[in-house]
Structures are given as C-alpha cells and as structure tokens.
Structure 1
Amino acid sequence: MTPSVLPRQDCAVLVVGGPTTVLDLGGLRIVSDPTFDDPGPHGYLTKTEGPAVTEDQLGAVDLVLVSHDNHADNFDDRGRAFAMAVPQLLTTTGGAERLGAPAIGLAAWNTDTLSRPDGDGELTVTAVPAVTAVHGPEDGDCDLDGNINCQAIGFVRAGEGLPTVYISGDNASLRTVAEITRSIPGIDAAVLHAGAARISGKFRDRAVSLDSIRAAAAAAVLGTRVNTPAHYSGWTHFTEGRDAIEHAFDDAGLTPVLRVADHGTWLPLLP
C-alpha cells in the first residue's frame, strides 16, 4: 500500500532522521541533505536507522538543499536519486559539477530565489558560510581550496512575512556562526547539525559537527527563538544524542528556545 503523503504545513520543520529535514515555508516544500537508505554500511560509515518518513510520503518537493555531496551520512544513494528528480537542487559549486543538472552550485554568500505558491513574492536562499568550510576543528588541515575536511555550506532562507531560517549543514565552527549573524542579522530559527560526529583517526578524533555544548552556544550567538537539532542519531559516528543536546540547552538556560521531538514530527518554526 502506498504511504499517505504528508499534508503541507503553514510554517514548520520535520526531522526525517540523520541530517535530513523537511521545511514547509511560503507554500514551498524544501528538503535538506536527503538520506533515505535502509540501515547498513556505507564505506567507512554505518547507518543504524532508516528514515522516519519515506521519500514517497513527501509528495511534490520544490527544492532540495545539499550541504555537501561528499559524505553518505548527508547524501546517500536513495537521497541522491530523490534529489536528482526534484525540479531545483542547490549545493556547493564542486557538488554541482559532480552531480550535473539539475544541480546549481552556490558559492558562499550567493543567492537563489524561488517563486512562492502562496502568492507573496519570492523565497531567497543564501549559501553560508564564507571563505572556508569548517567541517571539523578550526585548526584542522585544509584542502587545496582552503576547506577543512571538504567543501560544505549551510543555507539561510528568507521571504516577506516568513521567519528567516538557518540550516547549519555540517559546520563545526562558532566563529562561522558569529560571522553569519553579522552578515545576516535577524535570523529567527535554526536547524543545527549536532551529534558531535567523529571519524576515528581524523582530526585526532575531534568532532566534525557541532557537539551539544556548541549547538547550544550557536543558538545563543544566533539569538534564534526556535532551534531544532538534527544530525544526532542514525549513524554510528554520531557520538552525542538527543539527551546530551537537551542537557546542554538546559545548562545554558536555553530550553525555552529548543524545539525537539521524535523524528517524523512537525515542529512550528515560529515561537
């Protein structure tokens, strides 16, 4: 039996599992970092949980955002097939070259726009951060293009009458978060890739995504009123789960701005 399609929401976010999130904004359905494979090995990474929502349940999707195509925990096999069938796909410049059409590469601070079905103008998508990708510790070795680990971006979505939403991608740098707030003030909501992902032998086993304490610190730096964590379960190299995130936000006095629920649950993007 074909699963029922999730009804469109007015202004909400749903975490599918791993980093994968669905955002309904301005009449648009947007999916970030699609991962829909069943549990199992992906090279040196191992997936432990399937998606809470399948790609068939998402119905018509208007836009896919891929922070980077280099790692299976952000872009697995079924996620790739799904993304390539969507009308518009935004990713890194290198990712767009590897994937081909319909992928469009955005350099940091470049923007793209979509017409909104709700008739209220456009939704603007800006690629962040700037200069270098920090998908690891600040002092990690850089590649020839100056990226730590690989080229990776996050995204900020904005539109008239809508909350401005930041998706961090696998950025691990608070300095980058601070730079984003200076360049794009007034961000209302954030989807933060947490989980303290660690790869044995890489960067002395230090986290290549936000750990729980830095996720709470990022929320404080951003000043966002709604913060939804993703990228904290479903893969063996994610070392901090939901309990650690909730504890860190509580320690920081930020529980009122944390929005977390079981995967597959809609959460409002407005406070």
Structure 2
Amino acid sequence: MASSSPLLPRHDGSALVVGGPTTVLDLGGLRIVSDPTFDAPGPHGYLTKTEGPALAGERLADVDLILVSHDNHADNFDDRGRVFALAAPLLLTTTGGADRLGAGAKGLAAWDTHTLARPDGGGELTVTAVPAVHGPEDGERDPDGEVNCQVVGFVLAGDGLPTVYISGDNASLRTVTEIARRTPCIDATVLHAGAARVPGKFRERPVSLDSVRAAAAAAILGAPVNIPAHYTGWAHFTEGREAIEHAFDDAGLTSVLRIADHGTWLPLKP
C-alpha cells in the first residue's frame, strides 16, 4: 500500500486503538489492523460518527493483515476503512463478508484458522476466527442462527508471542466462556465495549459489551492485559471510558485494565 505520509513506527508486542473499534497490533514483525474506520465525523445511514480517527489510514499503509469482524455496519467498516482494507495484502473476515467483498478477502467461519509467516523469524502467526453474538442471547436469529448479522472475533497466537483475543461486536458472555474453554491461555484482549444501542433493535439492549460485561469477560478469560475499544466515536455508543473504568474497579480488576487516549501504544504483556 503506497503512502506519502510518514508511516507509524512499528512497536512490536503492542496495540494502539485508533478510534471506534479500529486497533493496530504489531506482533511477530507483522502489522495488523482490525475493523478499519478512517472516515471524518458525519452520518452513515442510521448511524452517526462523532469523532475522527487518532491517525489517518495512510500512516498504516505498511499493514500486513486486516481483520474485519463484520462488514455490515459502518461503525466497524466505514468508507475509507473499506478502501484501506481492500488495498491490503490480506483481509480476513466472515464467510459472508468475503463473498460481498470479493477476491481480496478470505472468509473464516468460527474456529477456522489461517496462518501467516512471521517476518521476525519466529515461525508462524495463527489467526483463529471465534464466535460472536451481535446482540442479546434471546435476540431473533436469522436462518443461519445469527443475531443481527454474522460476526466473528479473532485469536492471534504464535510461539513466543502473546495470545490476543479480539472480541468483535459480541454481547454474549456465554460465547466468551466458550472461547475461554477452548483457548485457556489468553494473554491480552481487545474488547469491543461501549454498550452500543440502536433504536428499534432488541428493545435498545446492547449489541456489544457494556462496561460490566466487559469486566466480566476479562475475569472469565483471565487475561492480564485488557484493552477496551469501540466505546467512543459514534453516537450509538452509550458507555465511555469513565463507565469502563468504574466497572473494572467495581470488579476489582483495575490492575488488568489498559485504557489510554486513542493513539497511545499499550504493551500486550504486563
């Protein structure tokens, strides 16, 4: 991906939240960007973006891998994010998303894996798609069993690397428990929090983790590093940084919470 802007220096073993759900992870010599959203503030159909990204997509033009939890909603995949993602060497997303996005995307169903060679010489990075439920457990399901739409999270793992769980837009603690059972040694999480609520959907119950459930997910997974994302930048996010900090404090989990201004590198190991 060509760019005239100065590239963001790499910071291996760390993550940086750009804004909304968009997160940069530098792991094993690879630069990974999840759920790219780079548009300026403004309306996107029934959703409204209220803040721009902490840095422009051009500064991440050396990206090696894009992860898209779902392409259906602009708060996870806006217009500039789509252009950015489709120019990348590899895009992993849902099976339905890959059909919509075309030949540049590879679809993964829950528990499917994809491996990449690591430039650091450490072997391979394995990306595993994991389940997500984009709404309440009792939400109406489509013929494929999905609530709202098909969504996946991701687990990134490799020898000598922290194992990282990226939740995608998941509101289900039952699903988090299944992931913890099947992936017992998670070192860090990127949790889509913010208690996203959309008028007319599910009696306006959250379609992503609220702050209390984000803290509960951290407890279930037992990860020593938990980085919230997806809690500011769009009008339908209803719980921000203060609510997240309060929930982790109430749960006695402040020591495992890593939250900072967007654009700040955060280590993926304690």
TM-score, L = length of structure 2: 0.98
Aligned to 1:18: 20
Question: Displacement, 1:201?
Answer: 1.5
Question: Displacement, 1:58?
Answer: 1.3
Deviations 1:122-181 (A, max 9, x none): 00000001xxx4100000000111000000000000000000000000010000000001
Task: Name the CA distance, whole Å, in 2 between partners of 1:245 and 1:160.
Answer: 32
After TM superposition, list the pairs within 5 Å mapping 1:256-271 onto structure 2.
256-271=255-270
Correspondence for 1:62 among 64, 69, 90: 64
Aligned to 1:119: 121
Deviations 1:73-109 (A, max 9, x none): 0000000000000000000000000000210000100
Aligned to 1:152: 151
Kept after mapping to 1: 8 A contact 2:7/2:62: no
Aligned to 2:108: 106
Aligned to 1:77: 79
Task: Name the CA distance, whole Å, in 1 between partners of 2:40 and 2:196.
Answer: 20
Question: Displacement, 1:3?
Answer: 3.9
Give the secondary-structure state (helix, strand or coil) at the position aligned to 1:134.
coil
Question: Displacement, 1:206?
Answer: 0.2
Question: Displacement, 1:110?
Answer: 0.3
Amino acid at match of 1:84: L
Question: Does structure 1 residue 199 correspond to structure 2 residue 214?
Answer: no
Aligned to 2:185: 186
Q: CA RMSD in A?
A: 1.0
Question: Does structure 1 residue 217 correspond to structure 2 residue 216?
Answer: yes
Runs of 4+ in 1 over 2 A off after TM superposition: none
**Alignment size in residue pairs:** 268
Aligned to 2:41: 39
Q: What percentage of residue pairs aligned between the two structures are identical?
A: 78
TM-score, L = length of structure 1: 0.98
Kept after mapping to 1: 8 A contact 2:66/2:85: yes
Task: Name the CA distance, whole Å, in 2 between partners of 1:228 and 1:262.
Answer: 11
Question: Displacement, 1:5?
Answer: 1.5
Give the secondary-structure state (helix, strand or coil) at the position aligned to 2:126.
strand
Aligned to 1:29: 31
The unaligned stretches of length 5 or more in structure 1 are none
